[in-house]
Amino acid sequence: MDTPSRAKQCAESLGTLAIVPLLIPYAFTNQQTVIREDVRRWAQELRRPECASFFGMLRLLVSYPEFRSLFCHRLKCGNQPASLLAICLRMVYRGQTALFLNCVDIGPGLFLQHAWCTAVGAERIGRNCWINQQVVIGHTNRDGGPVIGDNVFIHVGAKVLGPIRIGNNVTIGANALVIKDVPDDSVVFGAPGLARRRNSTASPSAVA
């Protein structure tokens, strides 16, 4: 092993020891199953199979502030003992800068790539979604936020606003603006947004 790799491994090992207190609320939470699915997804997307284990979760907590944000959010949304502990520990173990997760019902396997300056205020998010940085998901008024299906990919800078439904297997392109429902198996691009069904030759329809 070369010197830089060895130094990185040593730094991760020391960081892992420092992050151990986060295991206290994890031991009490009723969100362990969901968190383990998050860990497997992150290990897969980051191409770090060694992070798919319990000890790998500690490595993710050390190396990825956006994962720390998600981890603490899961704890906060769980049962009361773990939630209270997580709120206290978040003061010490800070997550990603300007990442706001304001959605209680988030399915397992959420992957947040970079995710700085990102606000997630959906009513519900399905399984295995991917959200990039500078994304805004939220309300336009008091009628509620979006309901997002499974396997949705939201690229950098996209805006998904209002009481709308985003179907399953949808890709929302960079800087797209979406304020209308999007059907399953669609790709959305542009501002105002246009949706096209995958493998369709029909003209795209407006979703903004």
pLDDT digits (tens, 9 = 90+) for 107-127: 999 999 999 999 999 999 999
- In the prediction, which pLDDT does 6 show? 64
Return the percent helix, strand and coil in the chain, to nearest 5. Answer: 35, 20, 45
Rounded to an integer, what distance in angstroms lies between the CA atom of residue 171 and that of residue 186? Answer: 6
Phi/psi of residue 172, nearest 5 degrees: -105, 120
Q: What would the CATH number be for the domain defined by 97-208? A: 2.160.10.10
Does residue 29 surpass a pLDDT of 90? yes
- In the prediction, which pLDDT does 160 show? 97
pTM over 0.85: yes
Does residue 80 surpass a pLDDT of 70? yes
Q: Of 139, 145, 141, 120, nearest to 130 (Cα)?
A: 120
Mean of all residue pLDDT scores within the chain: 89
Overall average pLDDT of the 149-170 stretch: 97
Q: How confident is the model at residue 9 (pLDDT cuts 50, 70, 90)?
A: low
Helix (H) or strand (E) holding 63, with range, is helix 54-63
Q: How confident is the model at residue 92 (pLDDT cuts 50, 70, 90)?
A: confident
Domain ranges of the chain: 1-95, 97-208
Overall average pLDDT of the 180-205 stretch: 82
Q: How confident is the model at residue 37 (pLDDT cuts 50, 70, 90)?
A: very high
